[in-house]
Structure 1
């Protein structure tokens, strides 16, 4: 049976209006609107037609209600991608013990945040991995959302950060820190990020410029895919578990981890593996 909000999510993720989806699927725009409002139930063949036009498996459209973040950007397509990432995170949390959210109190200053996290006076370390170690889930926006700036949101007490795939390594690092400030409720996230990344007492020297040139990757997601691979679960298996195409899954981790990994077997490790991040 079709889940109305799933049809809306898939259509929004593809950046289509009801009229555009109608032209691609052969289903009338009026019927699509009624399906999305739950006023009519489509036949299985119609669900297949809609799924094919949307490039989603039909099972995606009949799965339970998708998660809804507490906030999101104005770009509906990017918000839809965030919903898919939050759903992916929920799947991971059913298999792994991930770091729990551990952020300082709201509006904690950059210096106090560094002190609470026991950072020295040098440049901040890999920001993606630092955030992950404090329970922040970091994902990439798919490349078709490259016009959307990095953003953050909360879902059921878990903070999420979404980075722009087109950003330079320097910009992505700054964006991750700026979104930390947003999660902490700061009114001036740019100033917070600048002070957090490089305290005033530090010299902006060659070593820091070399650091800026690095592409920051995800230690958490790298561990996840490694453990899954060791249990015979490929990224393709993961995508099928989520009722997504592999390209959609790759878009959520683009630049953060290599997912084109070898390995076959039955999907899903047995039991729960404990993942810990050490800095």
Structure 2
């Protein structure tokens, strides 16, 4: 263990535990200004005080001596409704992102995971061109060889393209979803307290941000940016040609209940997509929207039997570790965090044993071998010590 205290670790731990400097100071027997000065490298706390910080914040002592990986710049993060996002929640999200990057780096060093293949828009088109969200979605489908068929499992598709997907369902539930790139690796956080259909839309929405709003094509946060990501998600999940081919004649409520299963989307999203493609009139769209709202579809998907998509990559990693008699505690030890911190990053996208000593029955234990896609992770290679 290094003997150099890392101030950024104190701020990171406090943000993850969602404690103010005043709260931490009171519990650790010091003052808020002292905490602030320690975080800003103006004072170095004594070993005894660092141990108190570790106890109060419930982190291993080693955590405060580990170098911190570099986060992307602030404008590289894509937060939903960022104008209404509380500063403390944004701080928690960025700190969890650091932990997710460290976990991702550990996975990359231990297993042969897929290389990043989520392009930015300028990689799909001539740099001087400008594509509307629908055309961007069609271009990405073409680049990935998806045609216009419905996507069976979007989470596993993104993992096969090198994306890392984590849960914000532990300490952070105030944010719908957010994403960023760590180098070339896309990282997506999901709030798993939603219907399976809306989680898929959130994934597609964040994919839209990663493709359209990264690098030199970055645009300022706001309604226009969020609407573009929504339009991309709708077009990516419900391709124009497939929708026009599947919907013939007028659309009724019973038709929506059947067709929403085809594209695995919410009833509201399907109604809106049909309207924007000109399949149904303004009057029909409004009538269906009112009927769906009265039936509870504005807040959820009543009667849906669609199961939330699970992470194949994380499931394979944890299954491999369990087979070796290892588990969350071993990853946590390598990253100097609690086993619960690792579990929280997988909450809702991997089903695991409560004690964290292995993996319980997963929603999907199959290795991803869909059409032309390779397995998500090659567990036979690059398996090293933790």
TM-score w.r.t. length of structure 1: 0.88
Out of 91, 95, 111, the position equivalent to 1:76 is: 91
Unpaired stretches in structure 1, ≥5 consecutive residues: 264-268, 275-279
CA deviations on 1:149-176 (whole Å, 9 max, x unpaired) are 2011011221111111212211110000
Aligned to 1:266: none
- For residues 67 and 233 of structure 1, the distance between their equivalents in structure 2, rounded to whole angstroms, comes to 29
Contact 1:56 1:245 in 2 (8 A): yes
- For residues 101 and 251 of structure 1, the distance between their equivalents in structure 2, rounded to whole angstroms, comes to 24
Instruction: Please state whether the residue corresponding to 2:165 is helix, strand or coil.
Output: strand
Q: How does 1:1-279 map to 2 (within 5 A)?
A: 1-70=4-73, 71-72=76-77, 73=79, 75-106=90-121, 108=124, 109-185=136-212, 187=225, 188-200=228-240, 201-202=242-243, 203=246, 206=258, 208-209=260-261, 211-212=264-265, 213-260=306-353, 262=357, 272-273=382-383
C-alpha deviation, 1:207, in angstroms: 6.2
Moved over 6 A (4+): none
Instruction: Please state whether the residue corresponding to 2:114 is helix, strand or coil.
Output: coil
Q: 1:207 to 1:228 in 2, by over 3 A?
A: farther
Q: 1:18 to 1:105 in 2, by over 3 A?
A: closer
- For residues 70 and 30 of structure 2, the distance between their equivalents in structure 1, rounded to whole angstroms, comes to 26
Contact 2:327 2:357 in 1 (8 A): yes
- For residues 46 and 136 of structure 1, the distance between their equivalents in structure 2, rounded to whole angstroms, comes to 39
Unpaired stretches in structure 2, ≥5 consecutive residues: 80-84, 125-135, 214-224, 247-255, 266-305, 359-378
Contact 2:170 2:345 in 1 (8 A): no
TM-score w.r.t. length of structure 2: 0.65
Greater Rg, structure 1 or structure 2?
Answer: 2
- The aligned length equals 270
- For residues 184 and 121 of structure 1, the distance between their equivalents in structure 2, rounded to whole angstroms, comes to 19
RMSD across aligned positions (CA)? 2.4
